[in-house]
């Protein structure tokens, strides 16, 4: 199976005549799939300057670290199922480090953690090795991930 990332799964509705302004999620450690559930004509997504229409029962996979935007120029709501999953180039150690960071942040924001606990063995070394904090990677891993993308697709997969 596909390992889900920390944002998980949601159903997203976009109102008629609306759009989401161009933005980057700033995290290249997961990919996002948009499955068209109810998609009228004139609904599309632009990623890295390339535009693709959503299709009912179709799927668009993208790297949300690229600039992306959406638009619904129809007169109906657009519904897509959004599923985040780990970028396939991540190592198990990178995934574990990111899961720990996000779990810690969530617990801290919920007030469940009032102090900084002792880090698990090897955790800091993993962070230093992969520079996983904030989605930043070493130059080598960025180059590897960037070079695996199809130039014709930009942030689309």
Would you state the pLDDT for residue 152?
Answer: 40
- The closest of 136, 109, 128, 90 to 119, measured between CA atoms, is 128
Distance of CA 2 to the CA centre of its chain: 14
Q: Measuring CA to CA, how many Å separate 1 from each of 4, 58, 92, 117, 148? A: 9, 19, 15, 32, 21
Q: Rounded to the nearest 5 degrees, what angle is found at the Cα of 36, between the Cα atoms of 30 and 42? A: 110
Q: Specify burial of residue 156 (Cβ count, 10 A radius: 0-12, 13-18, 19+).
A: buried
Do the beta carbons of residue 82 and residue 30 sit within 8 Å? no
Higher-pLDDT residue of 5, 131:
5
Would you state the pLDDT for residue 28?
Answer: 87
What residue segments make up the domains of the chain, in order of their start? 4-86, 92-144
Would you state the pLDDT for residue 34?
Answer: 95
Return the CATH superfamily for domain 4-86: B-lactam Antibiotic, Isopenicillin N Synthase; Chain (2.60.120.330)
User: Of 13-22, 68-77, 82-91, 136-145, which range is least confident?
Assistant: 136-145
Highest mean pLDDT: which range of 3-17, 21-35, 109-123: 21-35
**Residue 81 above 50 pLDDT?**
yes
Would you state the pLDDT for residue 132?
Answer: 40
Higher-pLDDT residue of 104, 144:
104
Would you state the pLDDT for residue 114?
Answer: 72
């Amino acid at each position: 199976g596909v390992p889900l990332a920390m944002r998980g799964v949601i159903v997203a509705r976009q109102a008629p005549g609306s759009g989401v302004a161009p933005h980057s999620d700033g995290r290249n450690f997961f990919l996002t799939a948009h499955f068209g559930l109810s998609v009228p004509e004139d609904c599309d997504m632009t990623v890295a300057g390339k535009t693709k229409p959503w299709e009912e029962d179709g799927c668009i996979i993208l790297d949300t670290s690229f600039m992306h935007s959406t638009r619904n120029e129809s007169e109906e709501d657009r519904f897509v199922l959004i599923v985040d999953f780990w970028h396939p180039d991540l190592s198990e150690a990178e995934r574990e480090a990111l899961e720990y960071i996000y779990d810690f942040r969530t617990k801290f924001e919920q007030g469940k953690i009032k102090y900084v606990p002792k880090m698990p063995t090897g955790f800091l070394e993993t962070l230093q090795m992969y520079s996983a904090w904030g989605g930043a990677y070493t130059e080598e891993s960025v180059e590897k991930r960037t070079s695996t993308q199809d130039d014709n697709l930009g942030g689309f997969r």
